[in-house]
Amino acid sequence: MAGYVHRAAVAADERWAFEEVIDLSRRGLEVLEMGPESPAGEARLLTTLGSGLRSTGQTEEGRLALERAMDLARRIGDGVAFARAADHSAIWEVVVGSLNEEPIALL
């Protein structure tokens, strides 16, 4: 079920329906809490949630969700999930002419 919710959240993200992304991602995380542990699914949903939150200006909450996603991905050894979360985390931090050490430290 959480996989379907995640796909719906991704589809909403592609339409720039960020409030829907946030709602669906949170629902998916609730579904995961009721079933067996799924760190990979949780990392995907947290990445989507974090991206949606940051897209609506909720940068701190989004950053925290993305950090949780990166921590989970690192714990389970999922390099792809880690890279996706790190990418969403760093993309909003680009400032021309300055060095942002936070994304560099993730490497």
pLDDT digits (tens, 9 = 90+) for 12-50: 999 999 999 999 999 999 999 998 889 999 999 999 999
Structure tokens at 25: 């991602």
Distance CA 88, CA 67 (A): 10
Q: Indicate the SS3 state at residue 72.
A: helix
Is the pTM above the cut of 0.75?
yes
Lowest mean pLDDT among 2-11, 18-27, 49-58, 86-95: 86-95
Distance CA 9, CA 53 (A): 12
